[in-house]
């Protein structure tokens, strides 16, 4: 039976499914009821590369969409060792225990899928939080597209929201592209820093400083207190030099100690204050809408890229053209044009091959020399 790709939800004919998969309604209901096992299984489908799971994933997402979105999404980044897991453990416990709310922690791990190594490690990093009933912790493997940053984290966020998690913490390691991706899926962006370590060591680029809503200098305890305070003043001065953010929020620089549980509660107060302010000014919704649109475009581009590299004509021709470019027999420009033409099913022909019988009143244009094959 052929899956009907036009079917979004609750149609009559169920699409062909992989063995072991449930009906979409089962996932939708389970997620909406906040069932953690179903939530985890639904995320697995969202993350799956299987063609048959893609359809199921779309149905699940469509089914939970109305219940998603009502949350606070916070991105937390910092180099390995900055104290992210300790911080999130403590912050999560505050949210769960003191505030009585649910929290989902999604880790975006940009480490190489080839080496199998993981910078962020597994969930045992958050020892106390991981055994809490109201906490859901999920590392997202980074694979393939979009700079290797977990490509399904946005959809995972939606699933968690639909399952009743109103606080979403998205954690990533500060190693380049992952921060930009996490920034583009969160409402508040926090950088955890260490006093004393140079900017270079902490991978701090100007671009990252510009994205911040707050910076927390962690490990402000013991002998490190003074230095942390010094760093705070220094960074506050540096951040002040940036033009004000269009949303009207001035990034804050604070100190904290995840280990001693100092300053964490205050940081969450700040996040809530930011949230209130953004909601009142309309920036909250505005940013969310911008993010959703940008993500749609990114998904389209990622889909096109995938199709391009899977296209048989492209795959056949690619090695020869790569060699031609490598040996300077062809320019990148012409080679790319030829591949794109192949992809569009318009193989580039030699001028002499062009069918002379093809009558056209069009003036000679850039398409000359191509035969359009329908
Ligand atoms: P991550 O790699 O960013 O997740 O960092 P971890 O949370 O694993 O912390 C790295 C190390 O720093 C661990 O040994 C922690 O115990 C320690 N650490 C984390 N937060 C603090 C803190 O606030 N103060 C001190 N002194 N050590 C901390």
CA distance 11 to 107: 35
With contact defined as beta carbons under 8 Å apart, do 105 and 92 qualify?
yes
Residues 107 and 240 in one domain: yes
With contact defined as beta carbons under 8 Å apart, do 298 and 306 qualify?
no
Distance of CA 245 from the midpoint of ligand 1 (Å): 31
Residues 84 and 56 in one domain: no
Residues 80 and 63 in one domain: no
Nearest CA to ligand 1 atom 25: 219
Q: Residue 346 phi/psi, 5° resolution?
A: -125, 75
Distance of CA 172 from the midpoint of ligand 1 (Å): 15
Residues 123 and 263 in one domain: yes
With contact defined as beta carbons under 8 Å apart, do 202 and 82 qualify?
yes
Residues 130 and 179 in one domain: yes
Distance of CA 125 from the midpoint of ligand 1 (Å): 10
Residue 200 lies in a domain: yes
Distance of CA 275 from the midpoint of ligand 1 (Å): 27
In this prediction the pTM is 0.81
Which is it for the CA torsion 289, 148, 212, 214, positive or negative?
positive
**Closest to 108 in 3D by CA, of 197, 187, 192, 170:** 170
147 is in which domain, residue-wise?
69-281
Distance of CA 260 from the midpoint of ligand 1 (Å): 11
Ligand 1 pocket: which residues have CB below 6 Å?
78, 80-86, 218-219, 221, 257-259
Which domain CATH number covers 54? 1.20.5.170
Give the end of a domain, one of 262, 281, 300: 281
Nearest CA to ligand 1 atom 6: 83
Specify which residues 243 forms β-bridges with. none
Distance of CA 221 from the midpoint of ligand 1 (Å): 11
CB-based burial label for 364 (10 Å; 0-12, 13-18, 19+): exposed
Nearest CA to ligand 1 atom 5: 83
Residues 224 and 170 in one domain: yes
Task: Give pLDDT < 50 ranges for the chain.
Answer: 1-13, 112, 114-116, 123, 144-148, 349-374
Nearest CA to ligand 1 atom 19: 83
Residues 168 and 85 in one domain: yes
Residue with tokens 């100092």: 262
Distance of CA 94 from the midpoint of ligand 1 (Å): 18
Residue 332 lies in a domain: no
Nearest CA to ligand 1 atom 15: 83
Residues 107 and 141 in one domain: yes
Residue 7 lies in a domain: no
Distance of CA 194 from the midpoint of ligand 1 (Å): 10
Residue to mutate (ligand 1; options 75, 76, 81, 87; most atoms within 8 A of CB): 81
Residue to mutate (ligand 1; options 78, 80, 83; most atoms within 8 A of CB): 83
Give the end of a domain, one of 228, 250, 281: 281
**What is the number of other CB atoms lying within 10 angstroms of the CB of residue 35?**
15
Residue 198 lies in a domain: yes
Residues 81 and 47 in one domain: no
Q: Residue 168 phi/psi, 5° resolution?
A: -120, 120
Residue to mutate (ligand 1; options 175, 194, 258, 263; most atoms within 8 A of CB): 258
Residues 31 and 131 in one domain: no
Residue 80 lies in a domain: yes
At 178 the pLDDT is 76
Distance of CA 286 from the midpoint of ligand 1 (Å): 35
Residue 257 lies in a domain: yes
Q: Residue 248 phi/psi, 5° resolution?
A: 85, 5
Residue 171 lies in a domain: yes
Which residues, at least 6 apart from 369, have a Cβ–Cβ distance to it below 8 Å? Answer: 348, 349, 350, 351, 354
Distance of CA 86 from the midpoint of ligand 1 (Å): 6
Residue 304 lies in a domain: no
**Count of domains for the chain:** 2
What is the arrangement of strands in the sheet containing 214-218, beginning at the earlier edge strand?
135-140, 103-108, 167-173, 72-78, 188-194, 214-218, 252-255
Q: Which atom of ligand 1 is nearest to the CA of 79?
A: 3
At 50 the pLDDT is 83
Residues 52 and 106 in one domain: no
DSSP string, 39-86: HHHHHHHHH---HHHHHHHHHHHHHHGGG---SEEEEEEE-TTSSHHH
Residues 52 and 143 in one domain: no
With contact defined as beta carbons under 8 Å apart, do 194 and 202 qualify?
yes
Which domain CATH number covers 225? 3.40.50.300
């Amino acid at each position: 039976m052929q899956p009907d790709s036009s079917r979004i939800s609750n149609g009559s004919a169920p699409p062909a499914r992989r063995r072991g998969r449930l009906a979409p309604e089962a996932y939708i209901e389970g997620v909406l009821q906040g069932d953690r096992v179903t939530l985890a299984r639904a995320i697995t489908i969202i993350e799956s590369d299987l063609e048959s799971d893609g359809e199921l994933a779309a149905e699940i997402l469509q089914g939970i969409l109305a219940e998603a979105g009502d949350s606070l999404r916070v991105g937390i980044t910092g180099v390995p060792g900055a104290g992210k897991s300790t911080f999130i453990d403590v912050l999560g416990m505050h949210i769960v225990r003191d505030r009585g709310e649910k929290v989902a922690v999604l880790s975006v791990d940009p480490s190489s899928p080839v080496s199998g190594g993981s910078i962020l490690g597994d969930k045992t990093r958050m020892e106390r939080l991981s055994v809490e009933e109201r906490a859901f912790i999920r590392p997202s493997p980074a694979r393939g597209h979009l700079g290797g940053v977990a490509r399904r984290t946005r959809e995972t966020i939606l699933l968690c929201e639909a399952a009743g998690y109103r606080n979403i913490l998205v954690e990533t390691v500060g190693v380049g592209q992952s921060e930009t991706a996490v920034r583009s899926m969160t409402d508040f962006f926090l950088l955890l820093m260490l006093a004393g370590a140079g900017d270079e060591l902490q991978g701090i680029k100007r671009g990252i400083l510009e994205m911040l809503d707050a910076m927390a200098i962690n490990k402000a305890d013991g002998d490190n207190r003074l230095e942390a305070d010094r760093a705070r003043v220094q960074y506050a001065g540096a951040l002040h030099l940036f033009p004000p953010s269009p949303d009207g929020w001035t990034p804050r620089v604070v100190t904290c100690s995840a280990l001693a549980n100092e300053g964490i509660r205050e940081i969450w107060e700040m996040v809530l204050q930011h949230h209130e302010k953004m909601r009142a000014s309309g920036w909250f919704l505005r940013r969310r809408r911008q993010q959703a649109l940008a993500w749609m475009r990114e998904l389209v581009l990622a889909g096109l890229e995938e199709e391009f590299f899977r296209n048989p004509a492209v795959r056949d021709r690619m090695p020869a053209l790569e060699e031609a470019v490598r040996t300077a027999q062809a320019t990148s420009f012409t080679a790319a044009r030829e591949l794109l033409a192949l992809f569009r099913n318009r193989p580039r022909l030699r001028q002499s091959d062009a069918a002379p019988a093809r009558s056209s009143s069009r003036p000679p244009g850039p398409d000359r020399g191509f035969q359009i094959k329908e």
